[in-house]
Amino acid sequence: MTSGARTSGARVCLGQIGAAHGVRGEVRLRSFTADPASIADYGPFETEDGRLVEIEKLRPAKDHFVARLAGIHDRDAASALTNVMLYVPRERLPQTEDPDEFYHADLIGLAAVDGSGNALGTVIAIFNFGAGDLIEVRPQNGGKTELVPFDAAHVPEVDVAAGKIVIDPPDGLFKAN
């Protein structure tokens, strides 16, 4: 699978800075990479507001990592980064090897169609609130967005190259709002 024009310039969130850890500027870090410990290999990272963040040291903790970031030397500076998301350009990530594996950035913007090819809308976001991935679709009719479970039963086909996903929506979704 190639990154293609749709994802050119797209950024992928690979982690989130948590609370300060200690008084010497370390932070808690949540990794969203397939191998969580490899997050440092993808830097430098960019924040929402365009700042660059580099991980100098990383060590595992109970359910997160503790990271030392370049230029952050005290608790106040570390605390100012709480909840900051860390992004890299999509092009910097390796290609997926499994045909059923996708980066979220590859799915954003795809057309959502039903099994007959009728347009349902456009994928605008992917979420995971703890019970599995959900795809947010903006309907063709401009109504409120819909959340669809991202599993084989509700999304039987993803064709990034063709720019579409096929959705078998749960009853009641994509009706006139």
pTM confidence score: 0.70
Q: 3-class DSSP state for residue 59?
A: strand
Whether residue 2 is predicted with pLDDT greater than 60 in this model: the reply is: no
Instruction: Provide the number of structural domains found in the chain.
Output: 2
Residue 73 corresponds to which amino acid?
Answer: H
Which pLDDT does position 176 carry in this prediction? 57
Q: 3-class DSSP state for residue 57?
A: strand
What domain range is 57 assigned to?
Answer: 9-92
Cα–Cα distance list, 174 to 86, 99, 108, 126 (Å): 33, 28, 18, 17
Largest Cα span, the chain: 59
| Confidence bin at 3 (pLDDT 50/70/90) | very low
Helix, strand, coil percent values for the chain (each to nearest 5): 15, 40, 50
Residue 152, token pair as written in the block = 């084989």
In a domain, 126, yes or no: yes
| Confidence bin at 7 (pLDDT 50/70/90) | very low
pLDDT digits (tens, 9 = 90+) for 39-77: 999 989 999 999 999 999 999 998 899 999 999 999 999
Whether residue 8 is predicted with pLDDT greater than 70 in this model: the reply is: no
In a domain, 131, yes or no: yes
Residue 75 carries which DSSP code?
H
In a domain, 85, yes or no: yes
Whether residue 28 is predicted with pLDDT greater than 60 in this model: the reply is: yes
Q: Which of 57, 92, 127 is the last residue of a domain?
A: 92
Same domain, 30 and 53: yes
Partnered with residue 11 across adjacent β-strands are 89
Contact of 47 with 86, CB cutoff 8 Å: yes
